Amino acid sequence: MNKWIIGARVRTLPAAIAPVLVGTVYANSINWINAALALIVSLFLQIAVNYANDYSDGVKGSDTNRVGPIRLVASGLASAKSVKNASFLSFIIAAISGVFLAINVSYWLVAVGAISIWAAWGYTGGKKPYGYFGFGEISVFVFFGLVATIGSYYVQTQQINWQIILLSLPIGTLSCAILSVNNLRDLPEDAKVGKRTFAVQIGEKNTRKFFVFLVTSSQVLAISAGFINKFAFLTALCLPLTFQVAKRVSGGAVGPELILVLKKTANLQLFMSILLACAFVI
């Protein structure tokens, strides 16, 4: 497989697709140009942060003994400079798409985009990356949950309401769960290199409980969207997958087993967002 596809970590991309899908479809009518631009922004921000993490962790030596997907810098598949450039190129694509979106909708979106790019780079980049101090889950919840979902709705309607805020919660919670299980997998190595993720700070046992809380909460929140549209109760179809990932993590899955859990959690988020979208179409 092409090394740049590996570095983009395509398994994490449902986290970028899900909020745009829900926010867009919930609008009464769809401006397909704005929808496409919102999707490009979300996807390339996700790809950019994946490359940025690869670069930053690689040059810091934090990725030397990872269990998860191959890291380009740490494995020597690509130079640190080229991975950094790939990250910057992805940020540029997201930024250009965001500017066009702002021209179509509101120039306030430029500020939102700039903050999002700063947050994406600052996760593991810079002198004091906030991901090394346990704030990664909060950032993911905010930017790949609230901002991405509400923003996708806003570029269609120029409105924000309590309904779209509610719909953003299960998406953000599952994005947080994806990062949580990723950090659970990496916890032993992160602790050794001084990367104090939230998982390292609260410990393995509590991180497992936290993951179960996140996926359970997302399921409850998604079903509660039935008060907005009765067909949102279709998200109850996600219960078997929700139970499966929760059981695996609470049952002590480690290392490579958690890679499968991460994939299934990403699939759960995408499946849930598709069901919510179908509810609104119906």
Q: Is 209 exposed, middle or buried (0-12, 13-18, 19+ CB in 10 A)?
A: middle
Read off the tokens for 4: 């740049």
Higher-confidence position of 105 and 123: 105
CATH code of 230's domain: 1.10.600
Q: Indicate if the pLDDT at residue 121 is higher than 80.
A: yes
The total number of residues written for the chain in this structure: 282
pLDDT band for position 60 (50/70/90)? confident
pLDDT band for position 57 (50/70/90)? confident
Measured CA to CA, the distance from residue 170 to residue 237 in angstroms comes to: 15
For 171, residues 6+ apart whose C-beta sits below 8 A from its C-beta are 18, 19, 22, 144, 145, 148, 149, 218, 269, 272, 273
Question: Average of pLDDT values for 209-230?
Answer: 94
Question: Average of pLDDT values for 66-81?
Answer: 77
The 10s digit of each residue's pLDDT in 181-200 is 999 998 888 888 778 899 99
User: Which residue is associated with the tokens 């740049």?
Assistant: 4
Higher-confidence position of 256 and 240: 240
Q: 218: domain range?
A: 3-281
User: What single string gives the DSSP state of each residue in 182-230?
Assistant: HHHHHHHHHHHHT---HHHHHHHHHHHHHHHHHHHHHHHHHHHGGGT-G
The number of distinct structural domains making up the chain is 1
